[in-house]
Structures are given as C-alpha cells and as structure tokens.
Amino acid sequence: MSTRKEKCSWCRTKVRVPIEAQSVNCPACGTVFVVPRRNSGYNQNSGYYQQPAAPQATNQYPSYYQQPVTTPLTSNQNNYSYGRPFSTPTTNNYNGSYQQASPPYQQPQISAPPAQHNGYSWQQQIAPQVAPPQVFGKKRAVLCGVSYLGQKGSLKGSLNDATSMKKFLLNSMGFPSASIIVLTEEDLDIYRTPTRRNIEMALRWLVEGCQSGDSLVFYYSGHASRTVDLSGDEMDGYDELLCPVDYKIAGKISDDEINATIVHPLPRGAKLHAISDTCFSGTIVDLPFMFRMNWQGAVWEDHRVQYNSYKGTNGGQAISISACDDHQNSGDTTYFTGESGGALTYSLIHAVEHEPNLTYGRLLNVMSQKISEAQRQLGQPPQMPQLSSSEKFDVFSKRFVL
C-alpha cells in the first residue's frame, strides 16, 4: 500500500498514512487530525507534497519573479492547525488589543445524523472542513449540560440550563459567541459532547493564555457524587466529583482536578466564576474560603487544611456559586417556567437580569428565596445555594459582574 508522511497538527510528529486516508489518529499524542486530500505532486523520496513550479515569467518582469515555488505541505495552507481541541495560541505580552487565535474548539464538522445514543458512543462521519481562525476578546466560557441520554438517571433539564446560560452570557454579560464552548449530547460534533476527555480539554482551553483583565466562566449542569477523600485536603473527609456522560467508562472528574486545572493557574488580575447546578456542589471547585449566612451572622469559613496542598490561585480571583451544600441534593424543577431546568440556573439569571447593580450577598439572598419558594410548593428537601472564593471579600458591597 502506498503511503505518505504527514505531520500531526498538535504535536508535529511525522506520521506515515495511506495515500487515500482522510483522517488519522496520531500514535504519539492521540489527536485525530484531518489529512488534506492531494491529487498530485507527491515525492516518494521526501514523503512530502510539493507545489508545481510557478510558470516562467516573460522578459517584461524582473528575474526575481521567475523563481519556482516549492513548499512542504503543512496541515493547512492558511496557517492554522487542524484537529487540536481548544487550541488558542497566544503571546504573553498583551498589548491591549484582541489576540488572533484559532477558534475555540474548532473541529471537523459532523455530517451524518447520530445513531441511537447509548450514553457514550455515537456513529458519525467526519467531513474535512474546518472554519478559519476567529478573534475572541477578554471573556470566554465553557458550558456543560449533561443529559445522560439512554442511561439510567437521565436529566431533562441540563440542555435547557446550558442553552439558558449561553443566552444569558451573550445578551446580558457581553460574551462573544466565538468565545463560548457548549458541550451537550445533542450536538452532533463528537468533540462537543460532554465526555471526560472533552471536558478536561475545554477546561485547559479556558485558562490557556489567560492574562490580567480576563473574565472566565465554567458552568456545569448534570450529575455529581462524592467519594472518600484520600489526600487529606477536605475538612468533611469527602471529595466531590462531576459525572461526564461517559463516567462509567472514563471515570469522574474530582474537585482536586478542577482546582488544579482552572484555579491554580489563574494569574493576577484575572477572574474566574464557576457556576455548578448539581448535587454535592458546595466545594466542587475546592476553594479555600466558604461564605456562610446563619443565625450567627455572615462569616467566611476557612477550608484550608494545614500542611496540605495549596488550593488558591496564582494571584487571580476564583469565585464559585453552587446549587447546594456538599451534603445536599439538587434536582430539575418545572416550577418556574413549566420546562425542566435547574433552580439555581433560573434564579441566578432571573436575579441578575431583573435587579441592576446586584451584589454577591444580595444575589445569594435572592437565589435562596427563589429556590426555597419552589421547594415549599413542590415538597422537595432543602437546598441552599453556596458561595466560595479564593479570597475573602465584602459580599454586600462587591458587585456581581462576569
């Protein structure tokens, strides 16, 4: 079989592929990248394609126009790479203007309709077209809505939650559409389904190249669980876990992993909001300080464990708003709109859109009142939204801004 050499668009490893191949899985890094179709010009000795020499110019042009052009084939002639999930090449010397980058999470488009969902596998056909690079600004977001289609315990409201949050970020918070990644099972693109690998890649993209002045959002609606903490960094003795759509095969994502991926690298001047509409989510991002309002008043609890790993940022501020405490459950409700959705998602969006200049303390109060109202009417167990942060601040004076 005739083969040719192509470079992986992610790790640049040379891979030998069949002449007629349209895509290939890199044996070095595991990335599936699209192989451009070529009709002629293949050099058996070098393993690369060469463009035909430019036709000789006539004598009326200077001689330097008559040089033939020979260019090794790259993965794309327009200077952007195929196949790397969430690639955002940036520079460290931000000059106050937008940076040119590959579009967040651009992958080959899916052209075939999905086969029957079984929770973790779909059948589809990859078409080798990739959109050109786009420009995004200082705001970016990753939104995950996990429905668990075809599995026991499937959720009806997660897709509605992710859709509502995207509209909120676009219309009320000024996020550009190109800077929002949405992971749902309803998306036919295999790279936009909320698998463990895709969520982890999206989180890495979220903080990649982050600089002072950036505003990041991680939103999750789906199942979560708890497990015994083996590292000794939890005051209650339990780690909290997110459940990707393929968690039965690929495993769950722990609060330690989330903290290490999107909290620890956050530079000075950058801001992260993690919004979790799920069970056991009070400390799902593992931030050092938890805000409590009870009969004793409003206090910040210190959740740092002595002689254990650092759970703060690299100078930035991380804030978590979650649906309930670590020992509580959070479920879908039809109380507010008649459609299934998370109570936290609805109450947060409703409060911010209907009350200008909202502070974090006021937001927490309004969400608690809304959620308690729904629980009383439906006879559901208590669910108290939680606020945690990488640093203490005055919640009744600091405005909520994404």
Pairing of strands 180-184, 139-145: parallel
Question: Of 75, 74, 70, whose CA–CA distance to 50 is shortest?
Answer: 70
Q: Using CA atoms, how far apart are residues 37 and 159, in angstroms rounded to an integer? A: 37
- In 335-382, at which residue ranges do the beta strands (DSSP E only) sit? 341-342
Question: Of 208, 198, 320, whose CA–CA distance to 265 is shortest?
Answer: 208
Task: Say whether 223 is catalytic.
Answer: yes
Is the distance from CB of 301 to CB of 289 less than 8 angstroms? yes
Pairing of strands 332-333, 341-342: antiparallel
Q: In sequence order, which residues have a C-beta less than 8 Å from that of residue 79 and are 6 or more positions away? A: none
Determine which one of 8, 26, 144, 279 is catalytic.
Answer: 279
Q: Specify the amino acid at residue 271.
A: K
Is the distance from CB of 189 to CB of 110 less than 8 angstroms? yes
Q: Using CA atoms, how far apart are residues 290 and 391, in angstroms rounded to an integer? A: 9
Q: Using CA atoms, how far apart are residues 385 and 343, in angstroms rounded to an integer? A: 10
Torsion angles phi and psi, residue 171, rounded to 5: -90, -30
CA of residue 184 relative to chain centroid, distance: 11
Two tokens, residue 356? 């200008």
Q: Using CA atoms, how far apart are residues 128 and 110, in angstroms rounded to an integer? A: 9
Question: Would you list the DSSP string of 154-180?
Answer: --SSHHHHHHHHHHHHHHTS---GGGE
Determine which one of 117, 144, 210, 223 is catalytic.
Answer: 223
Task: Say whether 350 is catalytic.
Answer: no
Instruction: Indicate which residues carry an active-site annotation.
Output: 223, 279
